[in-house]
């Protein structure tokens, strides 16, 4: 929009599932407001309020006013928001609406040939009805932009006029939001973050259901490189733009892997390693007060994800185990990875912990008793304890301005 505009520009966020909540709806709204304020704190000074299932975001100084575009893009990533509107706020007066509407819509209407006006009149005391407002606003725009025609069924652009309690709001077009529920309303979950395509998608899907994520990544130097580690840190940082701040544990699994390779049958190596990782993820989930462990497993995708294989890895988990991708195929998973901007990072060609020492002929129909017998060959509890005691905790992303990411030993 033209920055020489004479109207007040604000952002409106329209809510989705939250409006269906009952007596605890306020809790969802307050969590959403907290998430919105947190994201905006990195951009500028904004006043945030909610009324009639709509969040109002108003710049409070010239710096914030100049960064409205950045704020709009940030709000599109907030789970719980279904529509983001960059609007002009004006008095509830039809003459004033008619005066401002051509200026507000100039950029949006210059490149299209058809439009329609959609009116929302929540203030029923306004003297004109919705059809009357639409007709008058449409006439004003046709006069201002002679190249346009009205198309009520398939317009290239929709102009919105909203008559609300305290003001009128005008905008052309609206942007889709992330949908879902506000992060923080669905409890906490421990994501097993591998660095591949699947696990970041699993994290996003659970964050969209309101789950606040912690994560654990298992590395195995010198078999995996610093670049593989950095890939995971970059994934966590990218995820944090939508999922909020992530407490990421990095665990060195190399001593455990070497011990397993030396003591156990090769065809069961991957499954034994997965069971050990699951045990450690559950321990970290307990420390983080997480109600579940989240994985990116999809039924039948690889040998360790057959139904018998999933069963034997699940049985060592003492937390609720969630596999949000279980019925998705690879193309569906990739589609979400692209939409959440993790695909390009996930496909960097750096080794993954789980690809080290991969069996030539992995067992796809494992039995619990055989796995238990293999584990009995190894005193693995001290190895798990040493790995967890040496875990590095990194707090990733979405920090307010001036607040650095943190690193510590778990």
Q: What is the CATH number of domain 8-176?
A: 3.30.2130.30
- Distance in Å from the first CA to the final CA of the chain: 48
The whole-number pLDDT of residue 406 equals 55
188-409: CATH class: alpha beta
DSSP track, 59-126: E-SHHHHTTHHHHHHHHTTSTTEEEEEEEEEE-S-HHHHHHHHHHHHHHHHHT-SEEEEEEEE--TTS
Q: Where does the pLDDT of residue 400 fall: very low under 50, low under 70, confident under 90, or very high at 90 and above?
A: very low
Answer for the pair 269, 277: CB distance below 8 angstroms, yes or no: no
Q: What are the tens digits of pLDDT across the range 215-246?
A: 999 999 998 889 999 999 999 999 999 999 99
Cis peptide bond upstream of 222, omega within 30: yes
Tokens 């544990």 belong to 249
Q: What is the pLDDT of residue 398?
A: 54
User: Whole-model pTM?
Assistant: 0.89
- The stretch 334-360 carries a mean pLDDT of 85
pLDDT at 53: 87
For the chain, domain boundaries: 8-176, 188-409
Q: Using CB atoms within 10 Å of the CB of residue 20, give its burial: 0 to 12 exposed, 13 to 18 middle, 19+ buried.
A: exposed
Q: How far is C-alpha 367 from the geometric centre of its chain's CA atoms?
A: 37
Cα(155)–Cα(132) distance, integer angstroms: 19
CA distances from 344 to 214, 234, 373 (A): 22, 11, 41
**CA–centroid distance for 280 within its chain:** 25
Q: What is the pLDDT of residues 349-370, one digit of tens each?
A: 876 666 667 788 888 899 999 9
- pLDDT interval class at 3 (50, 70, 90): very low
pLDDT exceeds cutoff 50 at 402: no
Dist CA 209 CA 187 (whole Å): 10
pLDDT at 355: 65
């Amino acid at each position: 929009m033209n920055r020489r505009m004479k109207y007040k520009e604000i952002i409106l966020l329209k809510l989705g599932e939250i409006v269906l909540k009952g007596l605890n709806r306020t809790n969802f709204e307050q969590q959403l407001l907290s998430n919105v304020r947190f994201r905006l704190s990195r951009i500028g000074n904004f006043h945030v309020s909610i009324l009639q299932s709509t969040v109002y975001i108003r710049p409070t100084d010239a710096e914030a006013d100049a960064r409205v575009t950045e704020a709009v893009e940030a709000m599109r990533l907030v789970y719980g928001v279904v529509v983001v509107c960059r609007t002009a706020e004006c008095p509830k007066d039809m003459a004033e609406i008619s005066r401002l509407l051509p200026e507000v819509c100039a950029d949006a209407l210059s490149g299209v040939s058809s439009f329609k006006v959609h009116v929302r009149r929540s203030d029923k005391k306004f003297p004109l009805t919705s059809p009357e407002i639409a007709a008058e606003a449409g006439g004003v725009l046709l006069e201002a932009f002679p190249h346009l025609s009205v198309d009520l069924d398939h317009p290239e652009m929709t102009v919105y006029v909203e008559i609300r309690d305290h003001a009128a709001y005008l905008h052309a077009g609206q942007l889709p939001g992330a949908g879902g529920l506000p992060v923080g309303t669905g409890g906490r979950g421990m994501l097993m973050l591998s660095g591949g395509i699947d696990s970041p998608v699993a994290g996003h899907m659970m964050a969209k259901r309101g789950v606040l994520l912690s994560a654990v990544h298992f590395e195995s130097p010198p078999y995996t490189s610093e670049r593989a580690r950095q890939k995971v840190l970059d994934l966590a940082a990218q995820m944090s733009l939508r999922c909020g701040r992530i407490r990421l544990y990095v665990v060195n699994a190399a001593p455990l892997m070497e011990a397993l390779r030396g003591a156990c049958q090769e065809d069961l190596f991957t499954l034994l390693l997965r069971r050990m990782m699951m045990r450690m993820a559950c321990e970290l989930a307990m420390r983080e007060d997480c109600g579940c462990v989240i994985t990116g497993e999809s039924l039948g995708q690889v040998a360790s994800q057959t139904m018998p294989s999933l069963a034997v890895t699940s049985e060592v988990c003492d937390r609720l185990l969630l596999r949000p991708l279980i019925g998705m195929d690879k193309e569906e998973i990739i589609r979400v990875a692209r939409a959440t901007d993790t695909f390009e990072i996930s496909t960097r060609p750096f080794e993954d912990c789980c690809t080290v020492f991969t069996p030539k002929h992995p067992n796809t129909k494992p039995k619990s008793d055989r796995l238990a017998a293999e584990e009995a060959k190894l005193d693995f509890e001290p190895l798990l304890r040493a790995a967890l005691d040496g875990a590095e905790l990194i707090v990733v992303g979405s920090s307010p301005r001036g607040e650095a990411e943190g690193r510590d030993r778990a």
